Every structure is written in C-alpha cells, then in structure tokens.
Amino acid sequence: MLVPFLVSVLAAFVAYVRWGLGISEEPSIAQIEALRTYVADLFAVKQPIRIRFHDTGFRFPDLVLATQRQLDYQLAKLGIPYRYPLIDELPKHIPRFGFNKTSTQSTRVFTLTDGAISATDAVEDAEEMDISVTPPPDFSLDMALGGNVGVWLDLVRFRAMMTYNLESVHANDLPFYLAQTILDHLCEVDVKLYDMRHNISFDDYVPKLTVNIVAAEDGALKESTVVEDAIEELLLKHLEVIKPFVNVTPRLYTIDVTKNRIPRTIMKNTTDQITFVFLTTLKGFLNQVDGASVYHLLPDKPKTNLGDAYGTEYIEAQKLNESPRINITNFLFSVFGEIEERTGLREKCSNKHLEVFFTTKLLTIKGIEKALKLIKNDPNEANLLTFWEVCKLVDLILSEREHNWSSHLKHIHEIIKKVTGTK
C-alpha cells in the first residue's frame, strides 16, 4: 500500500517542479491523476488559529505546543489532512508596576506589547456590529479564567471563547480542552463537511440564484407595505451573509390577485430560480397559485396576561393588542431554509459566516478535483495548458496564509466551464 502512495505523491511533486521551472513538457496522465488523488484525499490546507489571552499574569509556556500536538494527533486519528497551525499570542512577560505615582487622568486602556505597556483612550461605547458583514478570515481562540470550563462560539467573527479554571491547569487538561474546542466548535463545520465529502458533488453547485417573493393580496384590503419592507430588509441581510458562496438576486412583487394573474415566468421554479408566495389578506380564499403553496402570514395572538395595569409591560401589551403585528418569522425561516437547501449549505452552525466559509472551501476542493478528472479524461492541448492553471491555484492555496475561498471557488468554476466548453 505504501509504494503506490509514494509513487503518486512523487508524480504530483514532479508536476509541481516542472510547472515552477517553466518546463513546457506536457504532463502525463499519471501526473494529472496523482494531483487529483492528492487534492481529493491529502490536501493539507492550512487554517492558522490565534491563541489569545489578555491576562498578563498567565504563565503556561508550553500550552500552545502541547495543544498543537494534541490537535495534530486528533486530526491524524480522524484521517483529516487539514492543518490548523496555532499562533502563540499568549503573554510572554509579566510587567513590573510601580506604585509611587498617582494618576488622576481619564480612563485609559493599557496594552502589553513585548514587555512594554502603552496606553490609549478608552472607547465610551462599543460600536454596533452588523452581523451581515463578512468578517476577515482571522481565526482565534480566546481564553479567560473562570469558575468552570466553558465554551462559546462567536456569532459574527471566526472566534471561539473558552473559560478555564485552575483545576484544569493543575490536571494538565488545558491542551486537551483547547484542541477539542477547535475541533468541536470553531472548526466543527470543516471537520463534518470533510466526512461528508463523498456525498457532495460539485455538479450541485449553484453560483447564482433568483429568489422571487410574491405578496398575493386583495388590493382593496391592503393598507400598507410594512410587511413587505420588513421581509425585504431581513432577506437582504441574510443574502449578504451567504454572498461569498452564492450570489442571490431577490425580487419582491406585490400583486392584486383579484384583478391580475401572477406571471408564469415568476412562478416557474428552476435550478436558478425559486419563488415564494405569501398573503396577509384573502385568508381562507387562496391556498394555491398555479400549484404553488401560499404562506398565510397571520397577526400575533392577543396577549391575555397584560401585567401590572400601571406598568410599561401593560401599556406595550395593550398597544400590540390594538395593532397586532404580522408574524413573518416562520415564513422567513422557510425561505432561508429552502435557499440554503437549494444552494448546498447543508451543515448548520450558529455562526452562519463559519458555515459559508467552510462550505465554500469544500466546494472549491471538489471543483479542483472535478477539473483534474475532466482534464485527465480529455487530455487535449487546451486542457493540458489548463492543467498548469489548476496547479497554480493549488500552489496558491497551499502557500497563502489567509484564504479567499469565494474567489477560489469562482476561479475553479470558470476553469471547469473552460474545460467543458460551457458558458
């Protein structure tokens, strides 16, 4: 078993060397297959993770090294070729503080850098973070001393947070906890998608999708567009999150179905178009449009427990009962779920950005694998030239520190279209 493996790796290495030196000799079928096998099963893509701790009194000099060994062992045990190199950003020095001076200036933030302390003005209020904006690919694991060992996953950034206690330090369990936090939380989607890779095909990739949202209403009873406006706002935020993976174009229509038909071009569901129909009027009169189910958006049920008659809760509950809100939550969940099912976002995560990042990564790798298979099956002159373009992309992924998987996915998709001659 070992000899064929070494031969395939050597063939892939020779292909790299020839490309790097500018040798124009055509690659052999064995070299193309060796690279395809490497990408499919041995692609050692690196995703650096910063280990951070802001308590300058924290002393554990071998923590990151011990965690790296524990992490590498677990990855090898699971048969996963990916690498998560840990970057040690733990405090290296304990500063000496002098107590012979009294400072009366305004609040300052003290930062320790290589043993020197610098001070900056404190920020009065934390800036509100837009969860729809894709964060930079800066992965980190932040640690803090707490009463118990606990783990949290950031909902926006590529970050996990872990609390530890002194007992875990004395028992030397901290490296194990850190490694498990990375595998079971921060990079859980990456690990699960790798296990599912044989059930995922690049042919299922949908680069573009049009989503039609149709409000089928009775124009005489429709009072405002507040529901449509709320749906549009929340839909755009969700689509911005998944944009690195798939470009979704939303189109919203309000149609008085008592006087007009919904255009058939809108109602036709295809691989690159999906339509949802809802109504807030005509309840009990309209359940289907051209065979498509209609979502009935209903007002919230009146509150029976209004609370203290003189309190704020009572006043707010009374306002809601007088002007009940239309509940759009379940409808949006259905829309989001259908979009993600259609586009291939299968592995769910509380941090949607992590889900998109790692799904885009896997689809890029599956695309490279497919491109190499197509080139091997039809090794004409144009395809053999394209092989070197694929080699360059693989080399870029292996060498770069921060991955732009969205760009790589679009690149390999264009390569496949070139090889297959599709537009």
Supply the DSSP string of 22-89, one letter for each residue: T--SPPPHHHHHHHHHHHHH----B--EEEEE--TT---TTHHHHHHHHHHHHHHHHT---B-PEEEE
Q: Where is pLDDT greater, at 34 or 3?
A: 34
Q: Number of C-alpha atoms within 13 angstroms, CB side, residue 56?
A: 13
pLDDT tens sequence across 231-265: 999 999 999 999 999 999 999 999 888 888 888 88
Please enumerate in sequence order all residues whose Cβ is within 8 A of that of 66, keeping only pairs 6 or more positions apart, or say none.
175
Mean pLDDT of 205-213: 94
The pLDDT of residue 312 is 66
- pLDDT in the model for residue 147: 75
pLDDT reading at 25 higher than 60: yes
Q: Are 223 and 362 in contact (CB under 8 A)?
A: no
Between these two residues, 207 and 169, which has the higher pLDDT value? 207
Q: What is the pLDDT of residue 400?
A: 93
For residue 402, pLDDT beyond 70? yes
Nearest to 193 by CA among 411, 399, 357, 402: 357
- Long-range contacts of 286-289, Cβ-Cβ distance < 8 Å, separation of 24 or more: 286/216, 286/257, 289/214, 289/216, 289/257, 289/262
User: What is the per-residue pLDDT across 299-317, written as a single tens digit (0 to 9) for each?
Assistant: 766 656 666 656 566 666 6
pLDDT at 232: 94
Confidence label for 358 from pLDDT (cuts 50, 70 and 90): very high
Q: Which two tokens mark 85?
A: 């190199």
Q: What is the mean pLDDT of residues 19-42?
A: 81
The pLDDT of residue 3: 38
| Span of 130-139, 254-263, 278-287, 298-307 with lowest mean pLDDT | 298-307
Whole-model pTM: value is: 0.81
Confidence (pLDDT) at 134: 87
| Percent residues over pLDDT 70 in the chain | 75
Query: Given phi > 0 = left and psi -120 to 50 = alpha, else beta, which region is 349?
Result: beta
pLDDT at 374: 97
Share above pLDDT 90 across residues of the chain, in percent, rounded to a whole number: 51
Tokens for 113, please give them: 């850098």
Predicted local confidence at residue 78, as pLDDT: 95
Phi/psi of residue 145, nearest 5 degrees? -75, 130
Dihedral angle, C-alpha 378, 384, 385, 386, nearest 10 °? 60
Under the banding of pLDDT at 50, 70 and 90, the label for residue 97 is low
Residue 69 backbone dihedrals phi, psi, to 5 degrees: -65, -40
Helix (H) or strand (E) holding 389: helix 381-399
Q: What is the residue type of 68? A: Q
- Quote the pLDDT of residue 218: 82
Query: Looking at residue 249, what is its pLDDT?
Result: 95
Q: Tens digit of pLDDT for each residue in 173-197?
A: 889 989 999 999 999 999 999 999 9
Name which of 379, 381, 377, 411 is nearest 393 in CA terms: 411
Provide the pLDDT for residue 303.
58
Q: Largest alpha-carbon pair distance within the chain? A: 86
Q: Rounded CA gap, 209 and 342, in Å? A: 9
Question: Which pLDDT score, from 0 to 100, does residue 320 have?
Answer: 60
Average pLDDT over residues 3-29: 53
Considering the chain, what is the average pLDDT of its residues? 82
Which range among 63-77, 96-110, 137-151, 377-391 shows the weakest confidence by mean pLDDT? 96-110
CB 300 within 8 A of CB 358: no
**216 secondary structure, DSSP code:** E
pLDDT of 292 above 80? no
Give the per-residue pLDDT at 104. 41
Give the model's confidence band at 267: pLDDT under 50 very low, under 70 low, under 90 confident, else very high. Answer: confident
**Start-end of H helices in 185-277:** 188-195, 226-242, 264-267
